[in-house]
Structure 1
Amino acid sequence: MKRIAIQGIAGSFHEDAARKYFEDDVEVVECKTFTTVCEMIDADKVDFAVMAIENSIAGSLLNNYQLIRDFHLRIIGEIYLHIQMNLLVNEGVTSADIQHIHSHPIALQQCMEFIESYYPNAKLHEKLDTAASAKLVAEEKMINAAAIGNLRSGELYGLKTLETGIETNKKNYTRFLILSKHGNPTKGTNKASVCFEVGHFYGSLARVLNTFAENQINLTKIQSVPIIGKPNEYTFHVDIEWENGENYDRAIHQVLKSASSLSILGEYKRGEIQNQ
């Protein structure tokens, strides 16, 4: 059984992603922070980690890019998880009883239209994650409060689902990276995450991006991350996909001539978004 580090506790979306990717053959190791997640891999206390990197509504988690580089971790896979939010309460609690709502701040934000429509006077409480909110409501036996989270957290902590699918945007996905100390062989992969820096002169970034295009490499994401201690300087993180491995190899060698630095954070198989 694989030991998988996640940020959060059992019932969180991170655990959902881990069980979906590894098909339930996992022992989840709960961590309070993403830094602790990386430390667990670095110390060989777990086999892999699952880390959120971006949400289709909230955007990218910039600090996680930095952590992957700082700990020299390798991306070996990815999974997209459809995020459905639900209103969870203790047995016997009705809509009229709810005066407090607990959840992660991003989850609250993603459900604000529902909250303002049905619970405009409820006091909102921001917690570290959605599963921790469900656990708190259950353990404290709150009779005037609800948690917002996924269905699994409700099942784990004995809460009933008062409302399902309360998120404003129904096409809400989070992309999770699968991390390890060791990378995949290039053969059999079709996607890579790389980061690079370029010089401060006109056309330097365009030259790198054009190199990918000229080699029929599809650029699916570009994210600039500020370099700590260097104002106005950035590392560019890009995700690229290819159909022909030779094109990818050639593009990487050509980019090395244009970029001032280049790191391949991982080569892996592209994850698919399941339409809901």
Structure 2
Amino acid sequence: MKSPGRKPGLFLFLSKMKKAIRVAIQGIKASFHEEAAFKFFGKDIQTIECESFKKTCEKLEKGEADFVVMAIENSIAGSLLPNYTLLREYGFAITGEVYLPIQLHLMALPGVKLEDVKYVTSHPIAIRQCIDFIDEFPHLKVVESADTAACAKKIRDEQLTDTVAIANTLAAELYGLNIIERRIESNKKNFTRFLILKSDKTEDNQEINKASICFQVGNHVGALSKVLNIFADYEVNLTKIQSMPVLGKRNEYYFYVDIEWKNMEKYDTAVRKALKYTVNFNIMGEYIKNDKV
């Protein structure tokens, strides 16, 4: 049986590797990026901790990692725009995707009670997603950090009895913290989409039904709609479109588009026709749709 959400070719590649595959993640162990990596590849992998998304790309470029797991959008916070720039600049191939439900818990050292706590710490986005809960405790001072799991680790390492962290279950388990309150996020339908990147664009096989593309169009009336109508005419569904300005060029934009299809021939035809009306057209990756949360 084929593993859902992965190309069979990619799955065979992974199964033939003698050593655990190396996956670069932004953040430390037990971060949401590691959780997403586990969901896609399974837990028999080596995660490489990186302090930034750019560092993950550098690891892949230098051959120090086999794949990168990169967050690209959140259902509440929106798109991670700088990551689109990294995708274009490094030219890596998108070879898969994974959706992860973001469940946030309040955690502390064993024995610590919420009424005795002075500080709550987490990533700024996680804090915003839990603001309704935090507002119920006005005595808590919010301390922002670069990584949710790092906050949990700091509490463990420094034995902070006056601080609670907002992070995931994985972080609580790894760093020996007790979960005081579960699911404190304001919106329970909160998920993040992650892309799986590899260094080359060689095809694993032809069993694909989703692609991420990037292009530019001329600055005149109907230029973008012409391209989008081509995909519609050939029954290729646009699931997302994101614009980004071209650095240093007025009124010029890159358009990043995710598309899905049921008929491969219609997709191929649509792409060929779209090429006539675009500039710098780039297929960043073709892969299997995997949107199960």
| TM-score (structure 1 length as normaliser) | 0.97
1:142 aligns with 2:146: no
- Kept in 2, the 8 Å contact 1:185–1:267? The answer is no
Mapping 1:27-66, distance limit 5 Å: 27-66=46-85
Secondary structure, counterpart of 1:258 in structure 2: coil
How far the C-alpha of 1:229 sits from its partner, in A, is: 1.3
Describe the superposition over 1:79-124 as per-residue Cα deviations: whole angstroms up to 9, x where unpaired.
Answer: 000000000100110010111001000000000001102x222111
1:127 corresponding residue in structure 2 = 145
Q: How does 1:129-208 map to 2 (within 5 A)?
A: 129-183=147-201, 184-185=203-204, 187-208=206-227
2:94 to 52, 70, 75: 75
One-letter amino acid of the counterpart of residue 128, structure 2 = Q
Residue 169 of structure 1: SS of its match in structure 2? coil
Inter-partner Cα distance in structure 2 for 1:122 and 1:268: 45
Structure 1 residue aligned with 2:241, among 222, 228, 233? 222
| Deviation readout 1:157-194 (Å, 9 max, x if unpaired) | 11110011000000000000000012334610100000
Contact kept, 8 Å, 1:186 with 1:267, in 2: the verdict is: no
Counterparts of 1:221-260 in structure 2, within 5 Å, are: 221-260=240-279
Q: What is the DSSP-based 3-state SS (H/G/I as helix, E as strand, rest coil) of the residue aligned with 1:101? A: strand
Identity within the alignment, %? 49
Measured in 1, the distance between the counterparts of 2:57 and 2:212 equals 18
The gaps in structure 2 that reach 5 residues or longer are 1-19
* C-alpha deviation, 1:226, in angstroms: 1.4
User: For residue 157 of structure 2, what is the amino acid of its counterpart?
Assistant: E
Question: Secondary structure at the residue paired with 2:200?
Answer: coil
Structure 1 residue runs of 4 or more that deviate by more than 6 Å after TM superposition? none
Letter of the structure 1 residue corresponding to residue 153 of structure 2: K
Query: What's 1:84 paired with?
Result: 103
- In the TM superposition, residue 138 of structure 1 has moved relative to its aligned partner by 1.3
Q: Distance in 2 between matches of 1:170 and 1:193?
A: 28
Tell me the equivalent position of 1:9: 28
* Pairing 1:18-29 to 2, within 5 Å after superposition: 18-29=37-48
C-alpha RMSD of the superposition: 0.9
SS of 1:232's partner is coil
Provide the C-alpha distance between the structure 1 equivalents of 2:192 and 2:138, rounded to a whole number of angstroms: 27
Unaligned runs of 5+ in 1: none
